[in-house]
């Protein structure tokens, strides 16, 4: 047993009475009951990925073409083509495996650690290894590792808002006889539940249920069964692929029949016609579209994870570009969740610690002294930690700190009296009582007059209006044998008020302003007081911070009234988790696309109802993460804004990749089909040519366009409409026009070269022009704002790898005799090749003129063009 396994906070629990399970017993129960965690969805294995690949239409067409070559007595062509089949298959499998590994890396499968007693020894183990029958030690600040019964305790209180929504911790009472768990909620019960937070005291629990058998596990299991809905983008892509597949098959049949009938109809001719038909089907089939969606969304999730946001559901990335409202929590998201002591206020004197020097005025010394005495020596509560830090800074060299005093009695906070009092002794028979808590509760303990209470309320509101959390402090003196049993029976003297601040994150105002520029509303939801909420909203830059709706206001409103009021209200205060669902539904009723943050079990319905649920990773629960689409690892608002920006970038790049795919399939289909209908023309493209072109197209779609940086105005446009088509008529029209101009250039090259250089040399020059036109289409579509020359300054490592590889393979196909024969090429002259490549490149330059005209007419026009 090492020191790391010891808990510093278990004195007085009588641990010697608990022996616990042996390691062998624990291992046996772990095998029987399974790990103490929610199971993750099964991942696809290598064989499953291979099976999906071999069922792809493109794979089937490639195998069919290779088989046909064998039947035609062309074993070399068949082996070359089938070799390319396995290359393409390997690339696809590697991409799919990378996707799977990226998703595995994004899953948050960590479980909290637990301190258990086994064979009489304290051991710190992973939470997933806790088994029924284990004795676990829990103390202030710990998460309960499993559903359990309390067997020994000292002043144990637990926050069960995770399961009940009640923000006030409940007291727990140990029981040696209890056998069954109670329902969550209620004081003085021995039942503790997995995932709940110990807020005070310490105890020893006996584990009853683990994993899916816990209360938390039952909720998580139900949420895990939810099947993600197919998104608009997926439906639209599937519909387009089906249409083009049908068109491709019909065109294939037509080409086979026309080719055979116009060339005599012999067996060899029918085989050639079938080969031409397969080539055309491969040319038309847009098999890149599913690749684009899969790779872009998976790699997009990885990119978003670098902004500290994990993606649990890929379609959420698509939805990010449409978000019109971000509903965020105040504490920890807009603020740092780091309490600091900001202000000390005693009657007749107020001290702003931000402006204070190295010493404080004497009148406020007692206020800080008794506030620290009313706190734990080793605090977990962030406000108490802030008080201790302030004491170390300003009272260290004074007589107002008392580390040697002994705690004699504690009066804990209760729902009826929101204050805590601690009685201390310095070794004499005189006892010092220090109290802190809600100002109205402390005022009640001090029995202040109505007039003094009214003035106190004004002082509290003045501090709260500055965004401060306000506490009252009081003190009293008793003889050791004169302390009353009841908290309310204390006779205390009021000292003053503390103002604690949870500062707004420095990056938040700029991020909120960026959201406003991008047409996104930011709504703040908090359980804090309206005055504090208004102050924080004002500091964060949220619009109309003075218009605040409270939880009590929400209770009195109908759904229609709320939907009407919510159009102009961006700040909600004193809101309980259940009311978040009403806010989400009201926004959705107004046609908004809602992103909602949440951290507790009671937030799960709102997270599921929102278009984009964002769970807090730092302080959130497993159940909230299960319900959410995104997990915010650092709970920072700027991470959400960064994710929205990346979501817009990803959707833009998907559009560019789709436009490129449409454009390049036009010349491929044209060069495959025209020779069939023009007597005397040989086939210009064969399956091996299509495979080569696919080796250019696939990396371009999945690597080059995915890696493109965001357009300059990506956060200066309004959100994309949810029903806005990825394949709008205008964007498809521009893409098809690019394809037709490339096809025209290739036909011109062929018509000029054929009578001068012969069929095979003309085919080679036409193929070179086609490949270079593809390169020009890539460069032109990298940015719809920058010119080709301007976009070359934008970093994209994948671009140079793809272009370099394409150049090398094209040179081999044109000049290496063995490869020439496989491609049915003849040697070409350098000047001819230069002219053919120039024709291919120049064919796309008209799009540069379009970009220039649009850029001069409207800086944002070309970026918005595809959505028109």
Active-site annotation, residues: 329
Taking the CA atoms of residue 88, residue 94, residue 97 and residue 101 in that order, the dihedral angle to the nearest 10 degrees is -150
Q: 763: which DSSP letter? A: H
What's the distance, Cα to Cα, between the start and end of the chain in Å? 69
- Neighbouring CB atoms inside 10 A of 26's CB total 22
Distance, CA of 271 to CA of 277 (rounded, Å): 10
Rg (CA), the chain: 35
Instruction: Count Cα neighbours of 322 within 13 Å in the Cβ-side half-sphere.
Output: 23
Alpha-carbon distances, residue 569 vs 459, 467, 524, 578 (angstroms): 27, 19, 10, 19
Full 3-state SS string of 521-535: EEEEECCCCHHHHHH
Distance, CA of 281 to CA of 259 (rounded, Å): 15
Give every strand in the sheet of 309-311, ordered side by side. 309-311, 630-632, 612-616, 594-598, 325-329, 521-525, 571-573, 548-550
Q: 800: which DSSP letter? A: H
Alpha-carbon distances, residue 552 vs 320, 458, 544, 583, 784 (angstroms): 32, 21, 20, 13, 50
User: If you write DSSP's letter for every residue of 603-656 in order, what string do you get?
Assistant: GHHHHHHSSEEEEETTT--HHHHHH-SEEESS--HHHHHHHHHHHHHHHHHHHH
Distance, CA of 407 to CA of 420 (rounded, Å): 13
Question: How many residues are there in the chain?
Answer: 868
For 781-818, letters b (16+ CB in 10 Å) and e give bbbbbbbbeebeeeebebbeebbeebeeebeebbeeee
Burial of 348 (0-12, 13-18, 19+ CB in 10 A): exposed
User: Angle at Cα 521 formed by Cα 519 and Cα 525, nearest 5°?
Assistant: 165
Distance, CA of 244 to CA of 661 (rounded, Å): 13
Q: Which residues contact 220 (CB under 8 A, 6 or more apart)?
A: 38, 212, 622, 623, 626
Distance, CA of 261 to CA of 505 (rounded, Å): 75
Name which of 366, 343, 368 is nearest 355 in CA terms.
343
Alpha-carbon distances, residue 36 vs 89, 128, 129, 147, 675 (angstroms): 40, 4, 6, 10, 66
Name which of 540, 622, 613 is nearest 217 in CA terms.
622
Name which of 806, 716, 718 is nearest 767 in CA terms.
806
Distance, CA of 475 to CA of 249 (rounded, Å): 88
Full 3-state SS string of 37-69: CCCCCCCCCHHHHHHHHHCCHHHHHHHHHHHHH
- Neighbouring CB atoms inside 10 A of 352's CB total 12
**Element (H or E) spanning 594, and its range?**
strand 594-598
DSSP 3-state of 727: coil
Q: 334: which DSSP letter? A: I
DSSP 3-state of 783: coil
Q: Which two tokens stand for residue 656?
A: 């560019």
Distance, CA of 183 to CA of 218 (rounded, Å): 13
Alpha-carbon distances, residue 476 vs 378, 435, 498 (angstroms): 23, 8, 18
């Amino acid at each position: 047993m090492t020191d790391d396994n010891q808990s510093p906070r278990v004195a007085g629990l009588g641990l010697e009475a608990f022996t616990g399970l042996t390691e062998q017993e624990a291992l046996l129960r772990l095998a029987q009951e399974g790990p103490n965690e929610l199971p993750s969805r099964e991942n696809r294995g290598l064989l499953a990925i291979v099976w999906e690949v071999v069922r792809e239409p493109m794979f089937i067409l490639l195998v069919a073409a290779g088989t046909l070559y064998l039947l035609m007595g062309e074993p070399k062509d068949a082996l070359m083509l089938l070799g390319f089949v396995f290359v393409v298959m390997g690339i696809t499998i590697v991409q799919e495996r990378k996707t799977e590994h990226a998703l595995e890396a994004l899953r948050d499968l960590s479980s909290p650690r637990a301190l258990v007693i086994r064979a009489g020894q304290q051991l710190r183990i992973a939470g997933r290894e806790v088994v029924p029958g284990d004795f676990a030690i829990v103390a202030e600040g710990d998460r309960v590792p499993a559903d359990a019964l309390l067997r020994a305790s000292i002043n144990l209180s637990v926050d069960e808002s995770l399961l009940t929504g009640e923000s006030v911790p409940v007291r727990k009472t140990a029981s040696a006889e209890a056998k069954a768990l109670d329902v969550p909620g209620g004081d003085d019960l021995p039942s503790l539940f997995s995932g709940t937070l110990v807020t005070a005291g310490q105890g020893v629990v006996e584990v009853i249920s683990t994993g899916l058998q816990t209360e938390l596990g039952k909720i998580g299991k139900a949420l895990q069964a939810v099947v993600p809905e197919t998104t608009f983008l997926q439906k639209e892509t599937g519909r387009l692929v089906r249409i083009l597949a049908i068109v491709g098959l019909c065109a294939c049949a037509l080409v086979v029949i026309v080719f055979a009938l116009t060339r005599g109809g012999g067996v060899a001719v029918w085989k050639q016609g079938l080969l031409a038909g397969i080539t055309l089907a491969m040319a038309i089939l847009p098999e890149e579209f599913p690749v684009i969606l899969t790779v872009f969304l998976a790699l997009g999730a990885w990119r978003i994870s670098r902004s500290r946001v994990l993606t649990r559901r890929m379609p959420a990335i698509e939805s990010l570009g449409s978000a019109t409202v971000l509903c965020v929590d105040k504490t920890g998201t807009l603020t740092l969740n780091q309490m600091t002591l900001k202000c000390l206020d005693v009657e007749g004197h107020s001290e702003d610690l931000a402006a204070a020097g190295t010493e404080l005025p004497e009148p406020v010394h007692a206020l800080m002294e008794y506030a620290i005495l009313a706190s734990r020596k080793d605090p977990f509560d962030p406000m108490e930690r802030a008080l201790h830090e302030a004491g170390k800074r300003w009272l260290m060299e004074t007589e107002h700190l008392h580390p040697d005093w002994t705690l004699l009695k504690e009066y804990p906070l209760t729902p009826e009296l929101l204050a805590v009092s601690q009685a201390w002794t310095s070794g004499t028979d005189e006892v010092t009582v220090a109290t802190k808590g809600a100002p109205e509760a402390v005022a009640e303990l001090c029995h202040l007059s109505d007039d003094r209470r009214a003035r106190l309320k004004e002082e509290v509101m003045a501090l709260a209006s500055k965004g401060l959390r306000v506490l009252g402090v009081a003190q009293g003196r008793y003889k050791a044998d004169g302390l009353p049993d009841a908290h309310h029976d204390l006779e205390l003297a009021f000292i003053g008020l503390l103002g604690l601040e949870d500062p707004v994150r420095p990056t938040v105002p700029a991020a909120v302003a960026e959201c406003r520029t991008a047409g996104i509303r930011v709504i703040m939801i908090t359980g804090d007081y309206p005055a504090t909420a208004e102050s924080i909203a004002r500091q964060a830059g949220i619009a109309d911070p003075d218009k605040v709706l409270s939880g009590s206001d929400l209770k009195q409103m109908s759904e229609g009234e709320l939907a009407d009021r919510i159009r102009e209200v961006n700040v909600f205060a004193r809101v309980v988790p259940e009311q978040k669902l009403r806010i989400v539904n009201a926004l959705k009723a107004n046609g908004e696309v809602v992103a909602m943050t949440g951290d507790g079990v009671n937030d799960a319905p709102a997270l599921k109802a929102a278009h984009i649920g964002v769970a807090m990773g730092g302080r959130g629960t497993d159940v909230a993460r299960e319900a959410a689409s995104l997990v915010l690892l650092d709970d920072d608002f700027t991470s959400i804004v960064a994710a929205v920006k990346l979501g817009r970038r990803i959707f833009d790049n998907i559009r560019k990749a789709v436009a490129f795919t449409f454009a390049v399939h036009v010349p491929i289909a044209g060069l495959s089909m025209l020779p069939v209908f023009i007597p005397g023309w040989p086939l210009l493209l064969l399956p091996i040519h299509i495979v080569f072109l696919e080796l250019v197209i696939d990396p371009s779609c999945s690597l080059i366009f995915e890696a493109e940086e965001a357009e300059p105005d990506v956060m200066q446009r309004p959100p994309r409409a949810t029903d806005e088509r990825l394949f709008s008529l205008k964007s498809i029209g521009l893409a098809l026009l690019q394809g037709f101009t490339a096809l025209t250039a290739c036909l011109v090259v062929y018509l000029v070269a054929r009578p001068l250089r012969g069929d095979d040399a003309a085919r080679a020059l036409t193929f070179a022009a086609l490949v270079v036109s593809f390169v020009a289409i890539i460069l032109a579509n990298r940015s719809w704002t920058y010119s080709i020359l301007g976009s070359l300054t934008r970093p994209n490592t994948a671009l140079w790898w793809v272009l370099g590889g394409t150049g090398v393979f094209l040179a081999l196909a044109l000049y290496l005799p063995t490869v020439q024969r496989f491609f049915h090429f003849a040697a070409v002259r350098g000047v001819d090749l230069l002219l053919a490549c120039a024709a291919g490149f120049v064919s796309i330059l008209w799009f540069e003129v379009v970009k220039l005209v649009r850029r001069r007419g409207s800086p944002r026009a070309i970026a918005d063009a595809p959505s028109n």
